[in-house]
């Protein structure tokens, strides 16, 4: 007996893995200026910018002033 998503073998054993999924291989390069790398870079830049603003708000000094006080 065959179904769309599974196969029942002899002895009424359920075989969920009888139908293999289609494989997808991406042909483009995975390094360099990819969309994911640019998105990650932008998010990290936003986190850094907000962190610098919070540092200035809580300490009263900018990054250079805060680093020279150490």
The residue extents of the domains of the chain are 6-20+30-69
How close are the terminal C-alpha atoms of the chain, in Å? 75
Say how far apart CA 7 and CA 18 lie, in whole Å. Answer: 6
| pLDDT at residue 13, as a whole number | 77
Q: How confident is the model at residue 12 (pLDDT cuts 50, 70, 90)?
A: confident
What are the beta bridge partners of residue 2?
A: 7
Count CA atoms within 13 Å of residue 44 on its CB side. Answer: 6
What percent of the chain has a predicted confidence (pLDDT) above 70?
77
Say how far apart CA 20 and CA 24 lie, in whole Å. Answer: 12
């Amino acid at each position: 007996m065959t179904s769309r998503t599974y196969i029942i073998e002899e002895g009424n054993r359920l075989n969920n893995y009888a139908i293999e999924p289609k494989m997808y291989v991406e042909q483009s390069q995975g390094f360099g200026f990819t969309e994911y790398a640019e998105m990650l870079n932008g998010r990290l830049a936003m986190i850094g910018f907000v962190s610098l603003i919070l540092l200035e708000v809580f300490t009263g000094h900018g990054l250079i002033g805060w680093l020279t006080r150490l």
